[in-house]
Amino acid sequence: MRRMNERIWTDRLRTSSRTASVLVAVTPLSFLIYDRLTRFASVCALESAEEVLEQADYLYSCGETEKLHQLLVKHKDSEEAEFLWRLARASRDLALLSRISAEEKRRLTYEAFDFASKALEKNRSSFAAHKWFAICLSDVGDYEGIKVKIGNSYIIREHLERAIELNAKDATSIHILGYWCFAFAELPWYQRKVAAVIFASPPTATYEDALAFFLKAEEVEPNFYSKNLLMLGKTYVMLRDVQRAALWLTRARDYPAVTEEDKQVHKEALELLKKLSG
């Protein structure tokens, strides 16, 4: 009986030993498989995100505004600034389409500002986030009244300058700063009076300031944007340099009309050239 109990006890020890051996062998293997699967999933997610961004940039380059917005709005809850500033841009571009109603345009304008704000919260080192925050804040000002619009102008310039600090080769940021200067150079006298009453030192700029930025943008990236060509023409008109104005307006007129904005630029350039020749 004693021998039998000893045998049973020995068998149990052997079984326990084999079970422990199996556990020791399987646990590291399972962990290794889990680790590799986790890494694979992360890589796939990364590749998927990169693919979406590549697709978004392609649609933007083709002027497919609605398709671009439909693609990016699926990622509206993203934590990545790269998605959010592109979504802000897409919402804004959609708002600019001629077929969009006034009510829908207003909604999209505020939506764009919301996405741009979130992009900046996620990454304050992103030049694009600063740029699109400035652009969208300017757009929102159109609905907030002259006091708010002028007050926002200080913030807008600050973010544009920060965008240029982060990326001195971004022609768009330089162009928009030129547009900022042009807007204050042509500010009507009554708005100047309002600004002087509200603000101790209201924003000021000259057409020469605007011209310097538009030329700089063209130097950084020649022929990058139809609106920059148009604004160069308009600035030279204001500076009474008809020859140079006609040169840049002709280039704006002949620029390939891909987007809705390009078409509007083409139309305005054509009208201005007729006035110059008349």
Least confident of 1-10, 77-86, 211-220: 1-10
Report percent pLDDT > 70 for the chain. 83
Per-residue model confidence as pLDDT tens digits over 25-63:
334 545 444 454 444 444 344 448 899 999 999 999 888
For the four alpha carbons of 113, 118, 124 and 128, in that order, the dihedral sign comes to: negative
pTM above 0.75, yes or no: yes
**Amino acid letter, residue 143:** Y
| Count of positions (residues) in the chain | 278
Least confident of 32-36, 89-93, 220-224, 233-237: 32-36
Per-residue model confidence as pLDDT tens digits over 150-164:
889 999 999 999 999
Please enumerate in sequence order all residues whose Cβ is within 8 A of that of 88, keeping only pairs 6 or more positions apart, or say none: 112, 113, 114, 115, 116, 119, 132, 133, 136
45-79: buried (b, 16+ CB within 10 Å) or exposed (e) per residue? eeeeeeebbeebeebbeebbbeebbebbeebeebe
Mean pLDDT of 3-12: 42
How far CA 77 is from CA of 83, 115, 223, in Å, comes to 9, 10, 35
Neighbours of 209 (CB within 10 A): 18
What is the C-alpha to C-alpha distance for residues 235 and 36, in angstroms, rounded to an integer?
Answer: 60
Neighbours of 187 (CB within 10 A): 18
Mean residue pLDDT of the chain comes to 85
